[in-house]
Amino acid sequence: MSIRVPRKHGTARVLLLAGVLALPLAACNAPRADMNRGLESVHQPVVQRNNFVFDVSTLPGGGLAVSEQRRLAGWLEALDLGYGDRISIDDPLDSDQTRSAVEAVAGRYGMLLADTAPVTEGAITAGTARVVIMRTEASVPGCPDWSDKIDIKVNNATSPGFGCAINGNMAAMVANKEDLVHGARGNGTTVIMSSSKAIKTFRDTAPTGAGGLKSVSSK
């Protein structure tokens, strides 16, 4: 766009050109919709649940053959079963022998069977039972975020990567990812009894000078 200004108005020409050049500079400093002006990070841990299924052949009267127990143990070993995983069994016959056999294999990894199994895809074939492992993973999508090429924040906004470090470490360090959703569950009575045991012992113990001074002889 060209603007004609009379030659005699040299000062007006300079001011007008300065105003035209200032327009793109003002556009660079305009606030973006994705700028975060608060102290709450936009990068939050995201919890994802995955189900792994394994069908085992059951005996006619219930239970698992030794070969099926070995197959199940190898599958659990390959999945690196550990704390935070939830293992359950979906048995159409609801056999106690089959549940006990699966529970014995899971007990080698320090795991207990859950009461109910989640819904999985596909029908269970007759003469088989389905072992389900529900594993929860946590991550922070979009981190690290180095989208900004300059660290000047004239709008008092946080950097795009604000919160990636602490939230990423939290997602990686929490042993049970379910705790990020609803918090850790426990029995507060046990904790209170353990913490007050030392206080109770201190209060119940008689003072050392309660029995009076002992008579000491130099002979």
Residue-level pLDDT at 2: 46
pLDDT at 78: 93
**Count of domains forming the chain:** 1
**Beta-bridge partners for 89:** 131
Separation CA 68–CA 88 (nearest Å): 16
Residue 71: per-residue pLDDT:
95
Whole-model pTM: value is 0.61
- 69 found inside a domain: yes
What per-residue confidence (pLDDT) applies to 187?
58
Sign of CA dihedral 95, 101, 104, 105: negative
- Whether 189 maps to a domain, the answer reads no
Alpha carbon 40 to its chain centroid, in Å, reads 18
**What integer pLDDT is reported at residue 168 of this predicted model?**
94
Predicted pLDDT at 151:
75
Series of mean pLDDT values for 10-residue runs along the chain (219 residues): 48 42 43 69 91 94 93 94 89 92 92 90 91 93 87 82 93 88 69 70 79 73
Range of the domain at 75: 50-135
pLDDT at 147: 85
206 domain-assigned: no
Residue 91 in any domain: the answer is yes
176 occurs within a structural domain: no
Q: Is residue 199 domain-resident? A: no
23 belongs to a structural domain = no
Residue 36 lies inside a defined structural domain of this protein: no
Which candidate, 134, 135, 136, 132, places its Cα nearest to that of 102?
A: 132
Question: Is the preceding peptide bond at 92 cis, omega within 30 degrees of 0?
Answer: no
